[in-house]
Amino acid sequence: MTAVALVNGMILVDPVLAQAGEESGLGGLVLVGIGVAVFLLFFALVFFATRYRRCPSNRVLVIWGKSGKQSARCYHGGGQFVWPVIEDFGYLSLEPLVIDIPLEGALSLNNIRVNVPSTFTVGIATDPVLMANAAERLLGLPPQAIREQAQDIILGQLRLVIATLSIEEINKDREKFMGLINENVTQEINKIGLELINVNIRDITDESGYIRAIGQRAAAEAINQAKVEVAQADRDGETGEAIAIREKTVSVAQEMASSEKGKKAAEQTKRVAVAELEAQAISGEAESKRDQDIAIAERNAETAAASKRAEQSQRVQVAEAEAKAVEGENTSRAQIADSNAKLAEIKADATRRSDVAAAEAAEAILRAEREQELARLAKEELAPQEIEKQRIEIAAEAEAEKQRREAKGEADATLAKYQAEAEGVRQVLEAKAEGYRRLMEAAADNPQVAPTLLLIEQLPQLVAEQVKAIQNLRIDKITVWDSGRAGSSIEGKGSGGSTSDFLSGLIGALPPVHELAKQAGVELPGYLGRVDESDDRTRKSTISSQDPPADPS
């Protein structure tokens, strides 16, 4: 129904219809407003429902994007609204990760390689600080990548813990070993947001067999102790048996003695009653007493023999048990000594390999540095120096060739000079030899003359050498002492001064001449005597018994 009509080109409006139209228009607007409000409410509900994130108990909700003090917000349980566009979210799984650690060859404190296969169970922690660490380092990583990171950290810390403990501490004090593992591993994996849930050490072995040797030693000690206890029990049983046998023997002997006592009483009554048979009774009594003594002696001997046999058997068994125990102890000690020797060898070999590896590494580093430095020097300094070196070598070769030629000429001249001098010396020596030969021929009648003349010929040279010895001395005054005698008689033959008395002066001058010749390194002939040096304070010149040399004049 419409409220407007067109009549003869004019627009006519029906008032009733117009009023109804106005009312229907207002109702439509209300309906539209209500629809829009419902739609907006539904959209808001859907929007909030889609952006509200719930966190299950086995996960950690991580929200990031808004600026703040923390790089991300972590929630365990409950739910949080995540703003669109400016925020985003992710989850971290709290499921445990089982990590196998096939640790082999870890070096202990006493340098023994240990194999410690183990299983570690770790998981992301729910502590706020640790959740933040996990969000920063593990968010978005697959479980295998997280397992590999944790495995590397656990391997390193496990090796570190083993390096601080000896084999005995690892094998015996498991509580301390596990405590150190928990402390070190927990401290390191907490840095990436993980916590240690469980540690399972499956086995502890070593390459050298040291732990096995320790077990064998403990087993041997237990076996030896058991053997000793068995031997002691056998000893106690045999001792009790011997005591029972002895008590039995004593009781039987006592009963036999009582029986014999009754018999003696009956025999005594019988002897009183039958007097005529007293002699026979006495004879029977003596025989009975003898038999009794023999029986008692035999029983005592059997008892003593049984006791000795029991004691002997006991000592033999105890000795065998002690021998077996000592043998076991010696075997165990030998195994321990052998294990210690192997351990020392392994330590020495490990130390040697470590030193060799360190030396090789240092050598490789130094060699690389040397090559690098040589390359730098070759580039910066050696290239210009090489050019200069070639120039200098060419100039030096030219100079050397010049000097070689000059030196060759000088050498030829020097050689000719020395050859001429040598020829002159040879001729002089030949002339001297000929003169000495003629001198010896001339003095054939008196052979002592030639050495004397030769000595006199060398005296100026000796005096010159003595003068050289004192030429640098500063002498202010020289005093000559003489006896002042005008003449003296020698053996009553004439008189004269010291100058004219040649033989007397020569004999008196022999000691100084000997001293002079000794200082000059000249050996005098034997006929001039010798100086006795047996006493350092007194020197005596002894003249041979030969006649003094004749006056050459």
Q: What integer pLDDT is reported at residue 197 of this predicted model?
A: 92
Q: What integer pLDDT is reported at residue 490 of this predicted model?
A: 42
User: Phi, psi at residue 473, to the nearest 5°?
Assistant: -80, 140
Listed in sequence order, the DSSP H helices in 52-166 are 128-137, 143-163
**Rounded Cα distance, 267 and 301, in Å:** 28
Q: In this structure, what token pair is assigned to residue 146?
A: 């997280």
Q: What integer pLDDT is reported at residue 154 of this predicted model?
A: 93
Which residue type does 216 have? Q
251, 244, 254: which is closest to 307 by C-alpha?
A: 244
- Would you write out the chain's pLDDT as a tens digit for each of its 553 residues? 444 444 444 444 455 444 555 556 677 778 888 888 888 888 777 776 677 888 888 888 888 887 567 778 888 877 777 877 788 888 888 889 999 998 888 888 888 888 899 999 999 988 888 988 888 888 888 989 999 999 999 999 999 999 998 888 888 888 888 899 999 999 999 999 999 999 998 888 887 777 766 766 777 777 877 777 787 788 888 888 888 888 888 888 888 878 888 787 777 777 667 767 666 667 777 787 888 888 888 888 888 888 788 788 778 887 787 887 778 778 878 888 887 888 888 888 888 888 888 888 888 888 888 888 888 777 777 777 778 888 888 888 888 888 888 888 888 888 888 888 888 888 888 888 888 788 778 777 777 777 777 777 777 787 777 777 666 666 555 554 444 454 444 444 445 554 445 556 656 666 777 776 676 666 666 666 666 655 444 444 444 434 444 444 3
**Rounded Cα distance, 431 and 451, in Å:** 18
Q: CB neighbours (10 Å) of residue 213?
A: 19
Note whether 136 and 194 are within 8 A (CB).
no
Bridge partners, 74 (sequence order): 62
E strand residue ranges, 346-500: 488-490, 493-496
Largest CA distance in the chain: 215
Q: CB neighbours (10 Å) of residue 152?
A: 10
CA 19 to centroid of chain Cα atoms: 114
Domain ranges of the chain: 4-49, 88-207, 213-388, 502-547
**Rounded Cα distance, 296 and 455, in Å:** 128
Q: What per-residue string of b and e applies to 153-182 under the rule 16 or more CB within 10 Å gives b? A: bbbebbbebbeebebebbbeeeeebeebbe
358, 359, 353: which is closest to 105 by C-alpha?
A: 353
Which residue type does 521 have? G
Note whether 12 and 6 are within 8 A (CB).
yes
Q: In this structure, what token pair is assigned to residue 443?
A: 């003095």
CATH of 88-207, one of 3.30.565.10, 3.40.50.300, 3.30.479.30, 1.10.150.120: 3.30.479.30
**Rounded Cα distance, 422 and 413, in Å:** 14
pTM assigned to the model: 0.36
**Rounded Cα distance, 223 and 221, in Å:** 5
**Rounded Cα distance, 171 and 327, in Å:** 27
User: Phi, psi at residue 115, to the nearest 5°?
Assistant: -105, 120
Q: What per-residue string of b and e applies to 9-22 under the rule 16 or more CB within 10 Å gives b? A: eeeeeeeeeeeebe
> Degrees (nearest 5) of the Cα angle 108, 109, 115?
10
Q: What integer pLDDT is reported at residue 526 of this predicted model?
A: 67
